[in-house]
């Protein structure tokens, strides 16, 4: 009986540790966030600034959404090809959030970005893109 209990405890601990180490962008909301962010940055990398400018969210539209010309000014100078790595994301399910990512350009330079998004209506829509990263501290 003690042996079965020990084995069960070890398996439970192993599953818990695996869940903690799982990639946060592989399932559920995380996967939807990843698809939206990578879709936007894919268009920016291809210099399709008109398509990228059309991504801005409809439910919580920014007061002054970035235009294709502004996106071109901000992203045209970055060497291609790019690598995008999502670093973190904080959000309220079904509401709004922010994702931090690192864009590594073709010359190896790293550029941090934060992407505000909304998940209203069950889809992830991009609202804004800014340079830098956002950190949210929560006291428990």
Which option is the CATH number for 27-131: 3.100.10.20, 3.40.1410.10, 3.40.50.970, 3.10.450.50? 3.10.450.50
- The pLDDT score that the predictor gives to residue 25 is 79
pLDDT tens digits, residue range 105-127?
A: 999 999 999 999 998 878 899 99
Q: Domain extents for the chain?
A: 27-131
The 8 Å CB, 24+ separation contacts for 59-63 are 59/118, 59/120, 59/121, 59/125, 60/96, 60/118, 60/120, 60/127, 61/127, 62/127, 62/128
Pick 75 or 94 by higher pLDDT: 75
- The pLDDT score that the predictor gives to residue 132 is 79
pLDDT tens digits, residue range 61-92?
A: 777 888 999 999 999 999 999 999 999 999 88
- The pLDDT score that the predictor gives to residue 129 is 93
pLDDT at 1 over 90: no
pTM across the whole model: 0.76
pLDDT at 19 over 60: no
Quick one: average pLDDT of 32-47?
A: 96
């Amino acid at each position: 009986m003690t042996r079965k209990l020990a084995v069960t405890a070890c398996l439970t601990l192993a599953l818990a540790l695996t869940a903690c180490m799982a990639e946060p962008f592989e399932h559920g909301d995380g996967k939807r966030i990843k698809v939206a962010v990578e879709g936007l940055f894919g268009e920016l990398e291809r210099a399709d600034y008109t398509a990228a400018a059309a991504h801005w969210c409809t439910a919580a539209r920014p007061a002054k959404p970035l235009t294709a010309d502004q996106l071109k000014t901000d992203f045209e100078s970055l060497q291609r090809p790019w690598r995008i790595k999502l670093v973190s994301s904080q959000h309220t399910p079904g509401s709004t959030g922010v994702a931090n990512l690192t864009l590594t350009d073709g010359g190896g330079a790293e550029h941090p970005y934060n992407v505000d998004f909304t998940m209203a209506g069950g889809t992830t829509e991009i609202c804004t893109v800014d340079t830098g990263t956002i950190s949210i501290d929560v006291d428990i």
